[in-house]
Amino acid sequence: MKVPLSWLKDFVDINVDIQTLCDKMVRIGLEIEEVKYLGENVTNVKVCCIRQIEQHPNAERLLCCKVDIGGEIIPIVTNDHHVKVGDKVPVALHGADLANGMHITKGKMRGEESWGMFCGAEELGINSDMYPNADIDGVLVLDPNAKVGEDIRAEVGIDDYVLDIDVTANRQDCNSVLGIAREVAVAIGTTCHEPNIDYTEYDTPTQSLVSVDVDASDICRGYYMQGVTDVTIAKSPVWLTSRLAKVGLHGINNIVDITNYVLYEIGQPMHAFDHNDISGHRIIVRRAANDEKIILLDEKEYALQNSDLVIADRNRAIGLAGIMGGENSEIKESTTYVLFESASFSRMNVRRTGHRLGVRSDSSARFEKGIDTYTNNLGLSRALHLVEQLGCGKVTRGRISIGEVAASKEIVFDKRRIAKLLGIKIPDERVVSILGALNIHAELDGNTLRCLIPPYRDDIVRDCDIVEEVIRVYGYDNIKGTLMPKTQITCGGKTVEDERIDSLKNVLNGMGYNECIFYPFAGKALFDKASISPVDENDYIKVINPIGEELSMMNLSLAPNMLQCVALNLSRKNANLRLFEVGKVYLSEELPLVELPYEQRRLSVCATDIDFDTFRSNILQTVRSATDKNVRSVRSSCNILHPGISADMLIEGAMVGSFGKLHPQIAANFDIDTDCWYAEIYLDKLFDHARGEIKYEPFAKFPSISRDFALLCDEEVAAQDVLNEFMTLPLVESAELFDVYRDEKLGVGKKSLAITVIFRDRNKTLQDSDIEKQSGKALRTLKEKYNVVLREQ
Amino acid sequence: MTIAEIKSLFEADISNCASLAELQELKVKYLGKSGLLTSLLKSIKNLPAQERPTFGAKVNELRNEMESRFADKAVLLKSSEMQRRLQEERVDISLTDCPSRGALHPVTLIENRIGELMTALGFEVLSGPEIETDYYNFEALNIPYDHPARDMQDTFYITDSILLRTQTSAMQARVMEHRKPPLKILCPGKVFRSDSDASHSPVFHQIEGLVVDKNITLCDLKGTLEYIAAHLFGPQTKVRFRPSFFPFTEPSVEVDLTCSNCGGTGCSLCKGTGWIEVLGAGMVNPFVLENCGIDSKKYSGYAFGIGVERVAMIKYGIPDIRLFYENDQRFLKQFAK
């Protein structure tokens, strides 16, 4: 919301400098985005009066002038032949800076002294909305009453600030100069004068010009209309257009400018209809017919539907309620009768229609935030006052009012609620006076506080809103920090799952891996590169309004983003990559989603410049840190990994993840030209087998017996499977591989596994016969399953 | 041999002995089953009966002396052998190639730090779904459909009623629906907004804090934030509230901290103001409490939402939010600790 300081001063006396004003505004909740001094690029330019003009002796196109700059006469050379003796014009003196970037210095022009330069409107950064005749090329001839020697900025109205204020979404009333003025008055402790809304009504009754029916009162709470006869369409005076210019609008004609002026000043979007264009002199506020067409003031045609609200005459729609007027009823040079509309349209309806049709306006922006019927009437009266002030025509008698005008509402509550919520005690008188300054009439009766809320404060609905009003004016600096002295004891901490994740991260950190965080979505191209794509594009959970396709599909794997990151790091010559991410993939049975998907937490780990054994041991160490169960490796079928150099990890038959060398094709897709190792672990599955609560167990009383076996088997047989076979025996405590031996004597494609098995019975000392029985069973099974045999010694 | 001869031979032998193995041999030579001294003792039977006690005593005396000398010599030899081994055993100590410790992501560091601080105050750390319903993200937080406050947050939608959460506040109603006060909840996590430029990322992290109990006040909110600020940026850090608006808190405030770079005197980081905006907060709107079946007359609460990257950028001097998601290893490694 842009507010010129000069406009604000119409309503509130400002007795502090601009910096203090802004600070105080911020402290009560008006965030200042920008403070712009309009004259900041125009310095050392004064009003001068031309005393003498002579032809330049050496140049036909130049004139030599003597000008009065207030007690001093100086020479100025100009090429503008329109200037006359006695004209008052702006002169840029030595050292002046101008709005177009020019810097002026004293000098000689073709041998004649010139101590400066006359300025045109452009050099001062103004246009004809801001100063009369500013549209004429050449030197700007000023008002004869301009004060010689005065700074030009005051004369042309740019000795002014424009505050750009970020109004919070609840304060629709502050989307207006008046609303800001009310707040400023509270902030600096002065009073705000309400705008002048006096006007004289002439004989023509409004009712005789038009009748109004509201057929959709559910989405039009109030509709007010009054007319102007004997209208003279003309240009608005500069004081008015200059204000509009400062908030970024152009002057159009007096009637339209008045509606814009009221929009900014009061916050009431108004519309002016040409009475002649209203067929049957009847206005109907109704829902549009499906596929009804309308051409709006932006000259575009829109197809409406039944949920849209239109202003119509007997035959057709003449405006899209709250958004924009129709081209068919706009104010023209020839307009003689005007009808002003001021209404409350449902903010939801305006928002929906505006969004659907892609059309927004200053009006709809305000309607979307909500306008009350009190402001409707204030705005309409203010417009009629301006009509009279500008002499545009005669106001008609009486107002067509449909809908109840909002009255002040009452909120009653226990005043102790204020201290209870804030934690500090504010004296009663102070509470009442703060509320009074905000136009909230407050009365205390014992502990009961009765507050009358002004109708334009839609945002105040209950006691806590009043508390906020009080404290924001009383000052948040009065709130002193306490650390919940009266709270009950609660048991804090992370979830077990989060603690487990922290442990995994710690293990990975210890082995040199660095944590990454990626966006949990990517584009189809990236998923394709990683061969993650499901067959059907619809099998993704997709963002329907993404910033771009590359940020549209929710993760089905952590690999695409990780591999892209590896490629980026490699392209920047970062070697020895050790990266991991704890992220999520989003899994759903049914697409499009009807309920929330399962968010599976996963761990991805990636490394370069490492060998298989080290990477495998890193991954297993990580996995084993989380579980005390046996982790079995089987050959992986994961299609992003090298089929011969990769494994799936299983715990009690459940797949908990895969690791291995990145498939060379995938590596090529990502331009990864070094060996890259990747693992992805399903944390939910892993944590299903997490270590349990810590509970001390006494040591075994009976001794263990260790036996070594040399087993001959095919190269294909995984050592882990062999060990597992021993591990299934009830008396086996552990089984570990300590050597793998290959030799021609063993045969081609054969290897010998040397393993140590530790046997223990918790209840008695083991006998050799027990061990023979147990290991014999394992060896028989191994022979059957994998053709593993005990090697001849 | 006589006692004297044996003694003199022993003196020579023991002084020449240079190793524990030799010493063992000497023990056998003198004290073994057929050792010199043992043989001497056996010869006692050849002596007259009256000389035997004297002779026996002398031999035993010598035996005792030898045993003591053997023990002394053993200690001496062990010590010199240890010295020799220590001289001989040498490794090249210059070759120590082990990976340096990896780092946590700066976002995690801040989340963990604030997590530690708050769990110490009795906060539970919970995480909610990133793909969330419109209800929890908006409706339950007093932001009905078509409310202008929706414009404050550009939302990614999956369907009409399912979206990527725009705020970790979405956890508020999820928690309060099932659990009743006293509640102290911290909810860190990813949030999503469909705007992206140098200072905005479509994905970033927030930490939601929520306390609901009897007697919770705005002073408690300020005290809690002062506690966090003091630990993150030093005990001199001040907290300032400015009025603001969030539909789910009333009163609502923006929270500024004194600039950690200049200490509040004004610098380029704080644009000369001495203050840095880090989070939004407020007292839980009674509407939200009542909507979750909590009596707003009996209970009050506060909530805050911290921008994690924002805090990390200030704390570590990170200039651009995009660095967080690029994951250049040179960036990541700097956060090892």
Closest CB to B156 among A545, A596, A599: A545
Least confident of A106-115, A389-398, A526-535, A564-573: A526-535
Confidence of residue A535 (pLDDT cuts 50, 70, 90): low
Of B228, B289, B283, give the one whose Cα is nearest residue B253: B283
Q: Which chain A residues touch B101 with a CB distance below 8 Å? A: 509-510, 512
Question: CA A358, A359, A360, A364: dihedral to nearest 10 degrees?
Answer: -110
Tell whether B64 is within 8 A of chain A (Cβ).
no
Closest Cα in chain B, distance from residue A584 (Å): 9
For residues A399 and A247, the answer to whether their CB atoms sit within 8 Å is no
Tell me whether residues A479 and B225 touch, CB distance under 8 A: no
Instruction: Tell whether B6 lies on the interface with A, counting CB pairs under 8 A.
Output: no
pLDDT of residue B261: 84
Q: Which chain B residue has the Cα nearest residue A169?
A: B149
Query: Is B329's CB within 8 Å of A596's CB?
Result: no
Q: Do the chains contact at B327 and A518, CB–CB below 8 Å?
A: yes
pLDDT of residue B56: 87
Contacts of A512 in chain B (CB under 8 A): 99-102
pLDDT at A699: 85
Whether B225 has its CB under 8 Å from any CB of chain A: the answer is yes
Please tell me the predicted confidence (pLDDT) of residue A538: 72
Q: Which of B108, B130, B158 sits opposite A584 (nearest CB)?
A: B130
- Other C-beta atoms lying within 10 Å of the C-beta of residue A507: 18
User: What pLDDT, on a 0 to 100 scale, did the predictor assign at position B250?
Assistant: 95
Q: Topology of A43-156 in CATH?
A: OB fold (Dihydrolipoamide Acetyltransferase, E2P) (2.40.50)
Tell me which residue in A483, A495, A519 faces B220 most closely, judged by beta carbons.
Answer: A483
Q: What is the DSSP track for A455-478?
A: TT-TT--SHHHHHHHHHHHH-GGG
* Cβ contacts of A502 on chain B, cutoff 8 Å: 112
Q: What is the tens place of the pLDDT at every residue in A151-178? A: 999 999 999 999 999 999 899 999 999 9
* Burial degree of B41 (CB within 10 A; 0-12, 13-18, 19+): middle
Contact A82, A54 (CB under 8 A): no
Contact B203 A520 (CB under 8 A): yes
Share of residues in chain B with pLDDT > 70 (%)? 97
A and B: number of Cβ contacts within 8 A: 262
Spatial contact of A289 and A344, defined as CB atoms under 8 Å apart? no
Confidence of residue A698 (pLDDT cuts 50, 70, 90): confident
Report the share of chain A in percent with pLDDT over 70: 99
Spatial separation of the C-alpha atoms in residues A325 and B93, rounded to whole Å = 87
| CATH level 3 topology of A496-687 | BirA Bifunctional Protein; domain 2 (3.30.930)
Q: Which residues contact A292 (CB under 8 A, 6 or more apart)?
A: A303, A304, A310, A317
- Among A1-15, B80-94, B143-157, the minimum mean pLDDT is found in B143-157
pLDDT of residue A68: 96
Q: Which of A23, A425, A473, A490 should one mutate to test binding to chain B, selecting the residue with the greatest count of B CBs within 10 A?
A: A490
Q: Does residue A118 have a pLDDT over 90?
A: yes
Residue A431 is predicted with a pLDDT of: 97
* Model pLDDT, residue A539: 78
Q: Which one, of A33, A334, A388, A34, lies nearest residue A199 by Cα? A: A388
A238 pLDDT above the threshold of 70:
yes
> Mean per-residue pLDDT for A357-365?
92
Chain B residues within an 8 Å CB radius of A346: none
Task: Provide CATH 3.30.56.10 ranges for chain A.
Answer: 2-38+161-188, 409-477
Are the C-beta atoms of residues A749 and A714 closer than 8 Å to each other?
yes
| CA-based nearest residue in chain B for residue A568 | B328
B173 and chain A in contact, CB less than 8 A = no
Beta-bridge mates of residue A598 = A587
Secondary element (H or E) of residue A149 = none
Whether domain A2-38+161-188 has CATH 3.30.56.10: the reply is yes
Interface test with A, best of B98, B100, B114, B131 (most A CBs within 10 A): B131
Contact with chain A for residue B179, Cβ under 8 A: no
In tens, the pLDDT along A637-668 reads 899 999 999 999 999 989 999 999 999 999 99
Confidence at residue A237, expressed as pLDDT on a 0 to 100 scale: 96
Whether the Cβ atoms of residue A649 and residue A637 lie closer than 8 Å to each other: no
Contacts of B18 (CB under 8 A, 6+ apart): B77
Residues 6+ apart with CB under 8 A from B84: none
pLDDT digits (tens, 9 = 90+) for B43-67: 888 888 888 888 888 888 989 999 9
Contact A543 B158 (CB under 8 A): yes
Q: How confident is the model at residue A632 (pLDDT cuts 50, 70, 90)?
A: confident
Are the Cβ atoms of A493 and B125 closer than 8 angstroms? Answer: yes
Chain A residues near residue B245 by CB distance under 8 angstroms: 29, 168-171
- In order, the DSSP letters of B281-321 are EEEEPHHHHHHTT--TTT-EEEEEEEEHHHHHHHHHT---T
B272 CB near a chain A CB, below 8 Å?
A: no
The SS3 assignment for A513 reads coil
Q: Indicate the average pLDDT of chain A.
A: 94
* B245/A contact by beta carbon, under 8 A: yes
Residues of B in contact with A422 (CB under 8 A): 217-219
To probe the interface with B, which of A35, A476, A549, A618 has the most B CB atoms within 10 Å? A476
At residue B108, φ and ψ (nearest 5 deg) are -65, -40
Indicate yes or no: CB of B218 within 8 angstroms of CB of A514: no
Query: Closest to A599 (Cβ–Cβ): which among B104, B129, B327?
Result: B129
pLDDT, tens digit (0-9, with 9 covering 90-100), for A75-93: 999 999 999 999 999 999 9
The predicted pLDDT at position B193 comes to 92
B220 in contact with A at a CB cutoff of 8 Å? yes
pLDDT at residue B150 above 80?
no
Residue % of chain A over a pLDDT of 90: 85
Do B300 and B250 form a contact (C-beta atoms < 8 A)? no
pLDDT of residue B234: 93
Q: Do B286 and A464 touch (CB under 8 A)?
A: yes
d(CA B102, CA A508): 7
- Position A248 scores a pLDDT of 94
| Tokens at A322, concatenated | 């709250």
Look at the domain A409-477 and name its fold: Phenylalanyl-tRNA Synthetase; Chain B, domain 1 (3.30.56)
DSSP A761: -
Query: Nearest chain A Cα to B219, which residue?
Result: A481
pLDDT > 90? residue A445 = yes
Q: Give chain B's mean pLDDT.
A: 92
Q: Does B12 touch chain A (CB under 8 A)?
A: no
Residue B219 in contact with partner chain A when CB distance is under 8 A: yes
Asked if pLDDT for residue B153 goes beyond 70, the answer is no
From chain B, pick out residues whose CB is under 8 angstroms from the CB of A590: none
Task: Give the nearest partner residue to A543 out of B157, B328, B333, using CB atoms.
Answer: B157
Question: With an 8 Å Cβ cutoff, are B162 and A596 in contact?
Answer: yes
B/e letters for B299-309, b = 16+ CB within 10 Å, e = fewer, are bbbbbbbbbbb
Q: Is the pLDDT of residue A290 over 70?
A: yes
CB contact under 8 A, B146 and A352: yes
> Does B239 contact A468 at a Cβ distance shorter than 8 Å?
no
CA–CA dist A704, A700 (Å, integer): 9
Across the interface, whether the CB atoms of A568 and B124 are under 8 A apart is answered: no
pLDDT over threshold 70, residue B151: no
Angle at A161 between CA A144 and CA A261, to 5 degrees: 75
In SS3 terms, A377-413 reads as HHHHHHHHHHHHHHCCCEEEECCEEECCCCCCEEEEE
3-state helix/strand/coil string of A678-745: EEEEEHHHHHCCECCCCCCCCCCCCCCEEEEEEEEEECCCCHHHHHHHHHCCCCEEEEEEEEEECCHH
pLDDT score of B144: 86
Task: Give the pair of three-digit tokens for residue B153.
Answer: 């947050």
Contact (CB<8Å) B217/A422: yes
- Domain A705-790 carries which CATH code? 3.30.70.380
pTM, two decimals, is 0.86
Confidence label for B271 from pLDDT (cuts 50, 70 and 90): confident
Q: How far apart are CA A434 and CA A469, in angstroms?
A: 8
Distance between B310 CA and the closest CA of chain A, angstroms: 16
User: What whole-number distance in Å separates Cα of residue A374 and Cα of residue A454?
Assistant: 9
Are A580 and A623 in contact by the 8 Å Cβ rule? The answer is no
Mutate to test the interface with B, among A356, A489, A515 (most CBs of B within 10 A): A515
pLDDT at B196: 64
The CATH topology of domain A201-402 is: Phenylalanyl-tRNA Synthetase; Chain B, domain 3 (3.50.40)
pLDDT tens-digit readout, A554-580: 999 999 999 999 999 999 999 999 999
Q: Which residues of chain A are within 8 Å of residue B251 when distances are taken between CB atoms? A: 421, 464, 467-468, 471-472
CATH 2.40.50.140 occupies which residues in chain A? 43-156
- In chain A, which segments carry CATH 3.30.930.10? 496-687
Please say whether the beta carbons of A77 and A64 come within 8 A: yes
Q: Estimate to the nearest angstrom the gap between the alpha carbon of A748 and the chain centroid.
A: 68
**Closest residue in chain A to residue B240, using alpha carbons only:** A477
CB contacts of B244 in chain A (<8 Å) are 29, 31, 168
CA distance A686 to A688: 5
Predicted confidence (pLDDT) per residue in B92-145, tens digit: 887 767 778 999 999 999 999 999 999 999 999 999 999 999 999 999 999 987
Q: Which residues pair with A605 in a beta bridge?
A: A580, A679
Cβ atoms within 10 Å, residue B66: 21
Task: Report helix angle B52-88 to B3-16, nearest 10.
Answer: 0
Q: What is the pLDDT of residue B198?
A: 62
